[in-house]
Structures are given as structure tokens and as C-alpha cells.
Structure 1
Amino acid sequence: MYKHVFGPVPSRRLGVSLGVDLVEAKTCNLNCIYCECGGNSKTYSERGSYVNVDEVKEELKSALKKIKPDYITFSGSGEPTLNSDIGTLIRWVKENTDSKVAVITNSTLLHFDEVVEDILEADVIMPSLDAISEEVFIQINRPHPSLKSEDILKGLVKLSEKFKGKILLEVFIVEGVNDTPQELKLFAEFLKRLGIEAIQLNTLARPGAVDWIVPATFKRLNEIKKYFESFGVLGVEIIKKYKSRDQIEKYSPEGEKLILNMLSKRPYALEELCEMVGEKKEELYKYLEILEKESKIEFVYMEGSFFLKKL
């Protein structure tokens, strides 16, 4: 059992991801109403060495003897860029492992040059953007008083100009809060100007920090996707976990039968199954999420890889 390293976690976006938590639980400069880790008793504003760097390195060395992840992902139960050692650790991972590096961030500190410099060696950065207007930013993210919505927008522009890897921007939709016509228009205008590779619409999968929040429906997410596309925003996709087959565009019963038939013979690694059924990993996960939810398959970690097994 590790203190800082967790997983591995199978991910539609990152494959097999080994997580690294660089702050203590709930060390964050936001107190988002949708946070699945629960609410904060306080918010933080200062960067610092929140964990022991040598401990993190030793845990990674130990974990990597047993696990061969596609990505080592700096994320966890708080905001990783609050840790001023994140750049040191990213460089150490790049120099001492074969894994790619991902950073999941709430984008609040990207307007600082030193923060962007710290994460430039990552392969994938997954920032979030939940609001454009200051009013909605305060309502949905409940930020530390030092934070302003305009700083997040400036930071995302700075990141897009300097970072040479892949940016996957997550927009978390809370129906009735950040999906008003006024806010969506502001989103669309900014996202078109930003011009990054992928915009990922997401919503609640587990209970949030407040009890009144409910997941946005697939229908609503699809409406927002089409609205953004009508403005010329490229690369918009929905990453909400699916609850039923009828929520999934182009879900094929024949494809599902083929997957189950393959797995009835023996377990397959995710990459093997993609090759055998002729689907990209992102498409295959549409089926796997449903089948796993129905307890027809399970993910099993063996010999440094995730395998899929029929139950």
C-alpha cells in the first residue's frame, strides 16, 4: 500500500494509468460543487512542497517493478500544480522510466509562467474549464479569494501557445449552472479562439460535494456538443460514462456479441481486443463500460497489463 502512488486505473483517455498524488487529501484552491472527493474545509493558494519527493520516487520505483503503465498521471485528491516540485518529478519520470506523463489540473495556476514551465515536459495535459463568467466561476468552483476566472482563461491561452504535447480540455457540465444560453455562448467563443485539439464534455458520475447536483443527461451533453460545433469548435466529444445502450451513438449489438464471443474463449489484453475486433480504444470502451456495469466482463491486471475477462 502506497501513500502517494495509486492504481493502476484503466482509462479511456490514457490507457493504463498509474496515479501520483502530490498533495494531501483535499489540498485544493477550489471547492467545486461537483467534486467527488467531497467539500473542502478550506482552500489553499500557496505553492509548496506538500509531500516528500524522495518518498514519491521510491514508491514509483517499487510500483514500476510490477506495473507497466501507459502513463504516469499526476492527479489525485487535490490540485497537483500546487506542489512546487511537480516539475522535478516530471523530469525524473521522463529520465528514469519508459512511461509517458499526464497531468490533470484545474487550470487555476496556468497564468503563472513557472507553473507552465514545470509541466511542459509532460506528454498530455488535461486541464479543466467549468466557467467563463466570474459569476458562474464563483458559483460552480467556489474558489480561493485570490483566483479570478479571467486568470484561468489567460492561463489556458498561455498553455496552448507553449505546450507541444496533447491538450485534452475537460468542460464539466452542471445543468442549470454553467449551461445557460449566455454561458454557453461565452464558452463557444472562447473555445473557438483557443483552438486546441480536444474538448471533452463530462458530468457527474458519483455524488458531488452538494446534495442537489445531478448528472447532466446524455441528451443535454449532445445538445451542447452540437451547439459548440455550430460555432466552429473542433474536436468536441462526450466522455460521460454511459448508463444504457440507447445513450450511445452507433452502438452495435453485433459488435457487443463479437466482444463477448472473443472473451468467452480466453482473456484478452485491451490492445489485443482492439486489434481483433477492429475498433479504436475509445470506441471499444463504449461497449466495455456497459458490459462491465452489467457484470458480464471484468478488468483483471496480470503480468503488467490489463486483461478483459468474461464472467
Structure 2
Amino acid sequence: MMQEYILKRLAIMIPVLLCGSLITFGLVFLSPGDIGEMMADSEASAMGMMATPEMVQAIKEHYGLNDPIHIQYLKWLNNALHGDLGRSFSTHKPVLKEFMDHLGPTLVLNLAGIMIALLIAIPLGVISAVKKNTIVDHLCRVYVMLEISMPTFWLALMLLWFFSVKYDIFPLYGYGVDWKDQLWHLALPSIAMGTSMTGSLMRLTRTSMLETLSQGYIITARAKGLTEFVIIFKHALRNALNPVVTMIGLFFGHILTGSVIIESIFSWPGNGSMFLASINARDYPMIMGFTLIFMALFVLVTLITDLSYSLIDPRIQYEKS
């Protein structure tokens, strides 16, 4: 049953998130440096003075940094289970509020990037499969190799240099003040993010379409006299989309990491740039909170991806194991 399958997957998510949070917590607190001294230096600098040992000790006591690491983790986990991910060391705001405040720009950027990737990859993948071993297919495959070998940050920087610095067509950085201005600011970062995903999606679409076009029911459809357009887009493409949907779900992890790079390069005020700033500032509550949310989102998107198979292909059913 669908409901039992969903409950089973949600139950599996609990140990996954627990192990992920434990590993992240350990890596964060085993990293070099004393967070108490760093926080004391930051607050003292803001007041135009030097940090004193008493100030360092007071900060450690306030944030519980003197407790053993396993006690600190258990306290954090208990608070997280009650919906409290702590407060940012840098902004002194709740971590969950910081995440929600920057969620909108990140969603806009990620959705725009995915749409661009799909609009480029799926049509070119279908054309490459239909025109197998022609000049069109060869050109598409060359594009795939170039795109896969192209680092995301390099593409973003080249777009920024060419369209913003050299020709001043698009804004150099920022988010914009109204929706029209935001669309103009969104163009380059969404193109950079979307293009970085097209190579793998296009190659997978081509491979899946070639396999589908060789199936018996496609040969039967041609024998019945159906047009090539109907055969490709009504019969072949729908059945070839399952692997592509899987790839899109898996790309969500790539999107999360890619948004950190893209948002930082274009000064996009989303969760990615906030996460990178938290790492640079050694803001432990922000790092832990954002990592936990990212893991939960990735697991949920994977579940949604699996459930979407039955919508694309009605033959797929979720039965009790």
C-alpha cells in the first residue's frame, strides 16, 4: 500500500538524520580553533576593546561550550526535537528563523535553475536519440562532454564577466527591489545553475530514449502507421522519463551544494550564501541547523521522487513488502 510505503520511508529517515547530525556535530567540534575565544574576539572588536579571559569564560558558560562534547550534542538534539535549532552566534537570531527568512530567494533560484535544465536537457536528449549518429547527435554529445567537464564556479564567473563586467547587460550582483528587477538579477545565476545540470540529464535522456525506441511496442506503433511525433512524445518519452525523474531527485543534493557556490558568486541572499558565511564564521548552531534541514529536505525530495514514478508509469505499484 502507498501509505505503508510512505510510513516505512519516513521511519528510515529518522536514523539517517540522526547519523548525519552526529557526524556533522563531531566534525564541527573537532575542527581547530576555540569558538569561545573567536566569539569573544568578535564581540570585543565590535565594542572597540580586547577580549579578556573573563569574557571568554563567560561566553563559554553561557553557550555551554565547557560541557563534554557528548553532553553538548545531547542538549542540541533534545532542543532540535522540540523545534529549537538554537540561536546564531553571529546574528543572535533563531536558526530556523534565519533559514525561513532566506528560503524564498533560494527556492526561486533553484526552481529557475531546474526549469532551465529541463528545458535544455530533455528536448536535446530526445533530438539526439531520434537523430542517432547524425551530425546533430554528434554536436549534442560534444556539448554534453563540454558541460560535464566545466566547473560550475568557472561557468558562473565567465557569465558574470561577459554579461555584467564586459557588456553590462545584467546586474553584477544582488537580488533586486521588485519582481521585474528580481527577474533581471535572477537571469545569470539561474542560467549558471541550470546549465551545470544539463549535461548529465541530457545524456541520460538520450540513453533512456534509445532503449525505449527499441522496444517492441514502438515497432508495433510504427507498423500501425502512427506518426513519428505521436510515437516519440506520447509513447516513448513518457516511458523514458523514469530514469530522468530519478536523476532530478538526486540532483537536489547537487542543487543544495551548487546554490552555495552560485549564491556566493552573485551575492544572492539565499540559504546557500548564509550557510557559507556560517562556515567562515564558525557559527556552530547555524552550521548544525542548516545541515539538518538540508538532510531532511534531501530525504523528502527522494521520497517524493520515488512516489512520482507511479504518476509517470501507472504500471508501477507500491505494495507491502
Structure with bigger RCO (C-alpha 8 Å, 6+ apart)? 2
- TM-score, length of structure 1 as denominator length: 0.21
Q: Name the structure with the higher strand share.
A: 1
